[in-house]
Amino acid sequence: MTETNNLPLPYFKIDRSYDVLQQSNSAFNLFGTVMNLSAIVDQDSLFKSKLLQVNALNIELVLKTSKNPLALFECSIEWFEDTGFLLCAPSNHMIPKLEQLVKEHQKRLASTNFELLEQKEELHALLTKILRLSAPILDIDDHRAVISFFGDLNAGLIKVNTHSLLNRAYEKSYNELLIDFSGVGEITEEGMNQFVKLINQFKFMGMTIGISGIKPDQALDLKKNKIKEDIVFKNSLKHFLNVNKRTTS
Per-residue pLDDT tens digits for 189-206 = 888 889 888 988 998 888
Q: What pLDDT does residue 48 have? A: 67
Report the C-alpha gap between 17 and 33 in whole angstroms: 17
| Secondary structure (3-state) at 56 | coil
Give Rg (Cα) of the chain: 37
Task: Provide the CATH number for the domain formed by 132-248 in this structure.
Answer: 3.30.750.24
Q: What pLDDT does residue 188 have? A: 86
Confidence of residue 120 (pLDDT cuts 50, 70, 90): confident
Report the C-alpha gap between 80 and 235 in whole angstroms: 90
Report the C-alpha gap between 84 and 80 in whole angstroms: 6
Domain boundaries, the chain: 3-91, 132-248
In this model, does residue 244 exceed pLDDT 60?
no
Q: What is the pLDDT of residues 87-117, one digit of tens each?
A: 888 875 555 555 566 567 667 766 776 676 7
User: Model's pTM, two decimal places?
Assistant: 0.49
Q: Superfamily for 3-91?
A: PAS domain (3.30.450.20)
In this model, does residue 1 exceed pLDDT 50?
no
Please report, for residues 82, 89, 128, 191, 209, the alpha-carbon distance to residue 198 in angstroms, rounded to integers and kept in the order given: 80, 73, 18, 11, 11
User: In the predicted model, what is the mean pLDDT of the chain?
Assistant: 79
Report the C-alpha gap between 99 and 115 in whole angstroms: 24
Confidence of residue 35 (pLDDT cuts 50, 70, 90): very high
Query: Looking at residues 154-161, what average pLDDT do you find?
Result: 90
Q: What pLDDT does residue 81 have? A: 85
Q: What pLDDT does residue 52 have? A: 74
